[in-house]
Amino acid sequence: MSEVAATGAPGRPGCFITFEGGEGAGKSTQIARLAAWLRAGADGRAEAREVVTTREPGGSPRAERIRSAVLSGVAKPYGPFAEALLFAAARLDHLSTLIRPSLARGAVVLCDRFSDSTRAYQGAAGGVEPETLAALERVVVGATRPDLTLILDLPAEIGLARARQRDRAAARGPDRFEAEALGFHQRLRAAFLAIAEAEPARCAVIDAQGTPDAVAQAIRAAVAERLPQLARGAADAA
Ligand code: Z5A
């Protein structure tokens, strides 16, 4: 095995960071920024890292096929539990083909959504019992839990307006979940905040209402504080 400084959970050479939040919270924007910062060794203060950026649902060829089906709405008539099973099937493949091999060779994996999205969308907003989702998470995710989860928080109205503006610019309509009513998105926000409150050691809530630069700075500060090996010295500059 190559000489890689351990950064995440014990026995795991790499480091697993997930981004969560409602629609249009800025996850894709901020993953690209954090990846560039880590690849540059946190402005030269730390070791430059191999960074793998990925997303859920998707992230592997088979999981991307499940993504297309679920986001098209084809599974909606089967109900939230069936959708949770499809997200879990996609996650199983994503974990075994991309996430675990990347962590094993020492990469930093930045993932746009992960199992907290199942808890929020299919659980809190969709009505699937938490015990059922916890059991699914135990068998699918196992020990590959995130080292850090950044929850990008903002009012649902603002996130939806951003997502709609982006969709208009790309000349496309809302997907299966964007099309849900405002109340659904407000439940999601509350669910992500509740997850952060229940698991403060893993989760950091980031105010996502500021400019992209301000949000990126808050994310770097959280990473420097929670995973100092990735950004040694950067906390002082944050
Ligand atoms: N889902 C689920 O139900 N269960 C699960 O287990 C999993 C997922 C894993 C995936 O959709 C859907 O699957 C998701 C949940 C469900 N629901 N939906 N829809 P997706 O991957 O297509 O979309 P998303 O994850 O919701 O992300 P998003 O809507 O694409 O937004 P984002 O990545 O958070 O934001 P963004 O693309 O970076 O930014 C959105 C726009 O705002 C864009 O035009 C930016 O330029 C702009 N932006 C970004 N930051 C700012 C700031 N700071 N100020 C102003 N404007 C900004």
3-state SS of the chain?
CCCCCCCCCCCCCCEEEEEEECCCCCHHHHHHHHHHHHHCHHHHCCCCCCEEEEECCCCCHHHHHHHHHHHHCCCHHHCHHHHHHHHHHHHHHHHHHHHHHHHHCCCEEEEECCHHHHHHHHHHCCCCCHHHHHHHHHHHCCCCCCCEEEEEECCHHHHHHHHHHHHHHCCCCCCCCCCCCHHHHHHHHHHHHHHHHHCCCCEEEEECCCCHHHHHHHHHHHHHHHCHHHCCCHHHHC
Position 172 scores a pLDDT of 87
81, 124, 131, 205 from 107: Cα distances, Å: 33, 32, 32, 24
Position 233 scores a pLDDT of 53
Ligand 1 binding pocket (C-beta < 6 A) is: 21, 23-29, 55-57, 87, 112-113, 117-118, 121-122, 162-163, 166, 175, 177-178, 211-212, 215
Instruction: Give the nearest ligand 1 atom to 208 CA.
Output: 53
**Which class would CATH give 3-237?**
alpha beta
Q: Collect the ranges in the chain with pLDDT lower than 50.
A: 1-4, 234-238
Position 171 scores a pLDDT of 84
Ligand 1 center to residue 29 CA distance, Å?
9
**Pairwise CA distance, residues 14 & 60, whole Å:** 19
Ligand 1 center to residue 25 CA distance, Å?
6
